[in-house]
Structure 1
């Protein structure tokens, strides 16, 4: 899509000539979180997919299967069930065909320092508001900025519905904060839609859930001793961990998916002033080294 700008001296701080034509791209951002306080790491992630790519039949077909209940993809519940395994492989294989057209930002955040600050703030707890507005904002902003002066991005944001998001009215906050940021910083993007959707309604959201689960398994890198019987694995409460590790190994054999994971922008936050960018490929190679015999 092309947009023609007439009689405009500047747009978001960028000087424009009268009648200058900008290429306008429609992007979809899908957002989810994974992990809880007692089950680290705790992560939030956003995946941006161009609308022209997300409208491919393969994505539409997967969404229909989700809605009809023909496939189930929730990573947290996976413990080796054969049908679920095939569903996850199908979804990641399909995504991998288009992964080179996408970008993903992930933030791994530590809540411990927030709990300490809460105790010092005389009972005023702003940690929830900060976590569920500021961190998503940073993720989205990182995905939308720096596309260049000749491209304007119009973005749709889709978030999996959650009680805390409803309580904070997250969609409204995200639209206000990001559109204000764009104007303030002279960026060429705008959020035109921000919606929450229940689970199993959009394949984009489910793919983010899967990827975050895979990322957490890679970071945790739980070692399951070789030679254990199935009964011993159950007694040691390692069945889920082993099943997930085995599936991650299989998915990493998909070259396009392996390359995608290596390319994600991964940050860690410990209540510092700045996010620390970490090369996620290092985590990935450590995991692969621990399972090298399977590659």
Structure 2
């Protein structure tokens, strides 16, 4: 007798880092089982984020912010093996350059390429290949940004429609039940992907500590990397790069981590 699917409820949190700034430009998704996300320890973090707004881009060593970031990351990663994170680094300038030849017939081609294609790839990557005996009931949480929504496109609707179509077309075992926008300080999952993606960008850039802000960011990331659970999680991120190629190129993110650590550690 054929066994019915086992179902699991999954939450995926999406954000980006480095938009309209110097390279790299990143998008990322963080998948967390609902049963873990709704545990008392994780839910308690929502009270923490509502007391103070946290932005990794603005972090400059403030002790209150540092303690909140530390608490969020280490609490969430207490069971790091339950979490999955995918990141894409894309060349924004290259997309804008290539789009010039099409822009006269499709004005928003650059934005739609960035905001319609890459988020779908990130989230699809978090949902595929779970096996034939499980079904993922999925909610997608997107930090609200006016860039994702205008008269020509709406990211939440695009993800809902296209990912459900992908599930049917490719014979995958997931359903997108909801895709929606959420404000800052509303869900700790949104804050977590914001912080983690910012840390990934800090690791990749590996900037010399020419300012207090850079130095404090590097120091905090280094301290976290000495934590076994954080190190294991960050080095297992599925990381891809795109720069005018037909396919995403998967890169071993552990190499970036080791370069960062060798540059920010004092050896005897």
TM bucket (normalised to shorter chain) is: over 0.9
1:65-84 deviations in Å (ceiling 9; x for gaps): 223x2x43210110111111
Is residue 240–residue 248 contact of structure 2 (8 Å, CA) maintained in 1?
yes
Q: Which structure would you say has the larger RCO, counting Cα contacts within 8 Å and 6 or more residues apart?
A: 2
Is residue 49–residue 102 contact of structure 1 (8 Å, CA) maintained in 2?
yes
Distance 1:282 1:39 in 2: 21
Say if 2:267 is the partner of 1:282: no
Which residue pairs with 1:140 in the alignment? 123
Unaligned stretches of 5+ residues in structure 2: none
Q: CA deviation at 1:245?
A: 0.5
Q: CA deviation at 1:294?
A: 7.4
Secondary structure of 2:198 counterpart: helix
Which residue pairs with 1:86 in the alignment? 67
Q: CA deviation at 1:115?
A: 1.6
Distance 1:282 1:131 in 2: 26
Say if 2:114 is the partner of 1:131: yes
* Aligned pairs, number: 264
Q: CA deviation at 1:264?
A: 0.6
Which of the numbers 20, 42, 45 marks the counterpart of 1:59? 42
Distance 1:62 1:75 in 2: 17
User: Which aligned segments of 4 or more residues in structure 1 are displaced greater than 6 angstroms?
Assistant: none
Asked which structure has the greater CA Rg, the reply is: 1
The TM-score normalised by the length of structure 2 is 0.94
CA RMSD of aligned residues (A): 1.5
Which of the numbers 215, 218, 230 marks the counterpart of 1:242? 215
Secondary structure of 2:4 counterpart: strand
The TM-score normalised by the length of structure 1 is 0.86
Is residue 72–residue 87 contact of structure 1 (8 Å, CA) maintained in 2?
no
Query: Map of 1:87-126 to 2, 5 A cutoff?
Result: 87-123=68-104, 124-125=106-107, 126=109
Which residue pairs with 1:292 in the alignment? 265
